[in-house]
Chain A
Amino acid sequence: MERILFGDNQFFAVNHISDEKSRAQSIKFKDDQAIIKTLDDAREAGINTFMCTTHDRILNICNIIRANPEKYKDYQIFPCMPYAHKYANAVTELGIVGTLKQYVPGNFFGSLFKGGVAYLSKDYTSIMELLIDSEMKMFKGIKTPVVFLQNVITDLLLGLRADEIFVAYHQYIRKKYDAEAGFITMNMPKLLDVLERGGIQNPVICSSINKAGFRMSGGKEIYEKTLQTRKVRAIAMQVLGGGAISPKEAIEYVCKLPNIESILFGASSKGNINETANLIRKFDQSLAYNTETIKAN
C-alpha cells in the first residue's frame, strides 16, 4: 500500500464536523468533472490510490478512468463496500429481509424463501458473495488490490459476534478478486483480536487514529499499545480529528506512531491536498533521518 491514500468523503458531502461545509461540498462536487479534477490534483501531489465507497457516482468516475488508460496507468482504487446509506434507507423502507431481496441479484431468494427450512451458513456466505460481486462490478478493469468492508458493517458484525463472516469475506476477496481484504472499523483493537482468532494474520485495518483520541473506542492508549506490540497493517484515518489540534501537530503524531502503513485523508482544494501530503512527507523524512542517526551512533 502507498504511504498516502486519497479519500472520498468530501465528494459525497460527508463532513463529520459541519452540515454547512457538507452542503458547500455537495455544491462544489455536483459534476463528475470536479471530482476528476480533484483526483488529478492529488495525483500531481503523488497520490495514486483512491479509497472510495461504492457510491453510485463512483461508477462514472470508473468510466472516466477506464476511458483514459494511459493517463491512469499507475492508478488504483481501494473500494469500500457497501455505501451504507443506500442500504440503511432501504432497511428503513423494506426491512432487513426486504432489502436483501431487493439487492441480492438473481433468483437466489426465490428458491430460498419457499422451503421454510433452516438457513445454512453457506446460504449467508452466498448472499455475501452475491452482494460483493454486485458492488465490485463498477470497478471491472481497474486495479483494486485491497477491498474494504465499511465500518458500519464491520462493527455491526463485530458486536453480533459474526466472526466467521470476516473470515469468509477475507477468503472470498482473495479467491475471486486476487486482492487483500481490508476492514474499516471504529473498534480497531477489538477487531484485531477477532481477526487473529479467525486465523487472519497481519490484517489490513483502517481506523480513526488521531492525537485527540477522537473515535478511538476504548481510548487512545489501547490503540497506541496495539500498534506498538501487535502485527497489523494499519491505515490511519480521521488524522485531523479534533478541531483544536493544528494540522502540523496532528500529522506529526500519526507519522511518529509505529506500524502505520498508510495515512488516508481527503481534501477539496489543491492547496489543502499539497499541504497535508507535504506535511506527511516532511515528518516521514525527518523521522527516517533520526532513525538513521540513532542507528549510526
Chain B
Amino acid sequence: MLKVALIGAGKMGISHLSILGAHPQVDVVGVCDTSKMVNDFLSKYGKFNCFTDYKKMVADVKPDAVFVAVPTKFHYTVIKDLLESSVHVFAEKPFCLTVAQGEELVKLAASKKVVNQIGYHNKFVGTFKEVKKIVNSGALGNIYHFIGEAYGPVVTNKKQDTWRSDPSEGGGCLLDYASHVIDLLNDILSPVAASKGSLLKSVYSGNVEDAVYSLLELSSGVNGVLSVNWSDDTYRKMSTSITVIGTKGKVISDANELKVYFKDSLPNGYSKGWNVKYITDLTEEVDFYLRGEEYSAQIDYFVNAALGKVPNTINTFESALNTDRAISIIKHSSK
C-alpha cells in the first residue's frame, strides 16, 4: 500500500481524490484544503483526515506520496517543501510559472531520488499513444509539418474574475489550455526550440489571452502551427487534436478518433490509404473510471512508479519543464 495525501481539493484535486479513494493499492492518509465546506464533507462522509495546513499534514501523517492540485502560482513553493521531505510528488499541470523555478525543482527531485509526475493526462489517451507509435515507426516518411490544436468553451463571456484570469497566478489560455497541446507535440515529435511568431489574443478576458496562435520550430527542425482557443463555444468541451504530415503519410488524431493515411510503408495492422481507429479499440480497461480512462491510468502509473513497479519516465518534471520552456518562448515571441 502506498500512503498518499492530497493538497488542494478543487476541481482536479477532488477528481484525483475520488480515483485515489477507490484505488486498491492506495491508502489516502490526508487531505488538505482551505474550504471548510469541502473539508467537512470529506471528513464526514469519506472519513478522510482533513487539514488546512499542508506542512502540518505532511508532518502528522507522513505520506509516501503527495498529489498537488493547488493553483499554479503555489506549485513551486509547495512542491519544493514536499521534495525536501523526500516524498514522491504528482502535481497538476502546468509545472511552474518560470523556467528557473522548474529547473530548480527538477534538480531537487533528482537529488532526492523521488518519483515525480505532472498531470498531462493526454499522454495516457489511447489515440495519442498510437500517434506516437506511428511517428516513431517512421512510416510517415520525412515529417515536414504539424498542426496542434485545442478548442473549448472555458471563457465565453466578459464577467470572469478568478485566478484563471490573472497572468501572475498561472491564468490564461497559454498556460492552462495550450500547455496540453505543446506537451503532446514535445512528446510525440520533439521539444519546441523556437517560435517564428506568436499571437496571444484576448477575446473576452481583460488581463489574459483567450487564444494562442504560433508558428513553432521544434528541436528536430520541423516547423508547424499551434492554434488554441478557449473561448470557442461551438465546442461542448475541450477538444485537442494533432496533425502530423510526412512524405509518406499523414495522421490526424483527437482523443476519440485517429485517421491515418499511408502511401506505401505500413506499420503492423494498417493498410495502404486511409485507416480509421477509434478510442474504443485503443483503450485499456481501468479498475475505476471517472471522467476518462486517462485520469485513472496516469494515477495507476504514478502509484506503480512510487511502488517501484514501473520506471518513472512518462510526464516527469523534466518533460513538463520542456513545456514550461515552450510557454516562455511563445510569450517572448508575442511581444
Query: Interface residues, chain A, CB within 8 Å of chain B?
Result: 12-20, 22-23, 26, 85, 88-89, 91-97, 100, 116, 118-119, 121, 124, 152, 155-165, 186-187, 190, 212-219, 241-244
Of chain B, the residue at the smallest CB distance from A21 is B257
Residue B153 CB within 8 A of the other chain: yes
Task: Determine if A19 and B36 form an interchain contact, defined as CB atoms under 8 angstroms apart.
Answer: no
Task: Determine if B160 and A93 form an interchain contact, defined as CB atoms under 8 angstroms apart.
Answer: yes
CB-CB nearest 9 A-B residue pairs: A159-B18, A186-B289, A162-B45, A161-B46, A119-B40, A159-B22, A217-B289, A159-B21, A243-B278
A17 to B42, CA, bound (A): 35
Residue B19 CB within 8 A of the other chain: yes
Task: Determine if B289 and A119 form an interchain contact, defined as CB atoms under 8 angstroms apart.
Answer: no
Residue B59 CB within 8 A of the other chain: no
Encoded as 1 (CB less than 8 Å from any A CB) or 0, chain B from 9 to 26 comes to 111001101111110000
Task: Determine if A22 and B236 form an interchain contact, defined as CB atoms under 8 angstroms apart.
Answer: yes
Task: Determine if A18 and B281 form an interchain contact, defined as CB atoms under 8 angstroms apart.
Answer: no
Given contacts A12-B236, A93-B160, contact A18 B290 (CB under 8 A): no
Task: Determine if A96 and B35 form an interchain contact, defined as CB atoms under 8 angstroms apart.
Answer: yes
B254 proximity list for chain A (CB < 8 A): 19
B239 proximity list for chain A (CB < 8 A): 19
Task: Determine if B288 and A217 form an interchain contact, defined as CB atoms under 8 angstroms apart.
Answer: yes
Given contacts A18-B256, A212-B280, A242-B281, contact A164 B45 (CB under 8 A): yes
Per DSSP, are chain B's interface residues mostly helix, strand or loop, or mixed? mixed
How many residue pairs, one in A and one in B, have C-beta atoms under 8 Å apart? Answer: 136
B47 proximity list for chain A (CB < 8 A): 161
Instruction: For the complex formed, measure the closest distance between the CB of A28 and the CB atoms of chain B, giving whole angstroms.
Output: 14
A157 to B164, CA, bound (A): 26
Set B20, B237, B279, B285: member contacting A213, Cβ < 8 A:
B285
Set B44, B154, B290: member contacting A89, Cβ < 8 A:
B154
Given contacts A92-B164, A159-B18, contact A219 B38 (CB under 8 A): no
Instruction: For the complex formed, measure the closest distance between the CB of B28 and the CB atoms of chain A, giving whole angstroms.
Output: 9
Of chain A, the residue at the smallest CB distance from B22 is A159
A92 to B154, CA, bound (A): 8
Instruction: For the complex formed, measure the closest distance between the CB of A72 and the CB atoms of chain B, giving whole angstroms.
Output: 28
Task: Determine if A16 and B46 form an interchain contact, defined as CB atoms under 8 angstroms apart.
Answer: no
Instruction: For the complex formed, measure the closest distance between the CB of A249 and the CB atoms of chain B, giving whole angstroms.
Output: 14
Query: Interface residues, chain B, CB within 8 Å of chain A?
Result: 9-11, 14-15, 17-22, 35-38, 40-42, 44-47, 153-154, 160, 162, 164, 234, 236-237, 239, 241, 254, 256-257, 278-281, 283, 285-291
Of chain A, the residue at the smallest CB distance from B46 is A161
Set B18, B36, B280, B287: member contacting A155, Cβ < 8 A:
B18
Set B9, B236, B285: member contacting A217, Cβ < 8 A:
B285
Task: Determine if B285 and A160 form an interchain contact, defined as CB atoms under 8 angstroms apart.
Answer: no
Given contacts A94-B162, A159-B17, A159-B22, contact A89 B153 (CB under 8 A): yes
B237 proximity list for chain A (CB < 8 A): 85, 88
Task: Determine if A17 and B279 form an interchain contact, defined as CB atoms under 8 angstroms apart.
Answer: yes
Given contacts A18-B257, A217-B287, contact A160 B44 (CB under 8 A): no
A100 proximity list for chain B (CB < 8 A): 37
A94 to B257, CA, bound (A): 32
A8 to B19, CA, bound (A): 28
Instruction: For the complex formed, measure the closest distance between the CB of B20 and the CB atoms of chain A, giving whole angstroms.
Output: 8
Task: Determine if A19 and B256 form an interchain contact, defined as CB atoms under 8 angstroms apart.
Answer: yes
B36 proximity list for chain A (CB < 8 A): 116, 118-119
Task: Determine if A186 and B290 form an interchain contact, defined as CB atoms under 8 angstroms apart.
Answer: yes
Of chain B, the residue at the smallest CB distance from A240 is B280
Task: Determine if B44 and A124 form an interchain contact, defined as CB atoms under 8 angstroms apart.
Answer: yes
Of chain B, the residue at the smallest CB distance from A12 is B236
Task: Determine if A243 and B10 form an interchain contact, defined as CB atoms under 8 angstroms apart.
Answer: no
B153 proximity list for chain A (CB < 8 A): 89
Of chain B, the residue at the smallest CB distance from A218 is B287
Set A14, A155, A159, A213: member contacting B236, Cβ < 8 A:
A14
Instruction: For the complex formed, measure the closest distance between the CB of A125 and the CB atoms of chain B, giving whole angstroms.
Output: 11
Of chain A, the residue at the smallest CB distance from B290 is A155
Instruction: For the complex formed, measure the closest distance between the CB of A11 and the CB atoms of chain B, giving whole angstroms.
Output: 12
Task: Determine if A96 and B38 form an interchain contact, defined as CB atoms under 8 angstroms apart.
Answer: yes
Task: Determine if A97 and B38 form an interchain contact, defined as CB atoms under 8 angstroms apart.
Answer: yes
B15 proximity list for chain A (CB < 8 A): 156
A91 to B38, CA, bound (A): 13
B280 proximity list for chain A (CB < 8 A): 16-17, 212, 214, 241-244
A44 to B38, CA, bound (A): 48
Task: Determine if A96 and B14 form an interchain contact, defined as CB atoms under 8 angstroms apart.
Answer: yes
A26 to B234, CA, bound (A): 9
Set A16, A20, A88, A163: member contacting B45, Cβ < 8 A:
A163
A85 to B22, CA, bound (A): 23
B17 proximity list for chain A (CB < 8 A): 159-160
A268 to B169, CA, bound (A): 44
B14 proximity list for chain A (CB < 8 A): 96, 156, 160
Of chain A, the residue at the smallest CB distance from B255 is A19
Instruction: For the complex formed, measure the closest distance between the CB of B204 and the CB atoms of chain A, giving whole angstroms.
Output: 12
A152 proximity list for chain B (CB < 8 A): 290-291
Instruction: For the complex formed, measure the closest distance between the CB of B278 and the CB atoms of chain A, giving whole angstroms.
Output: 5
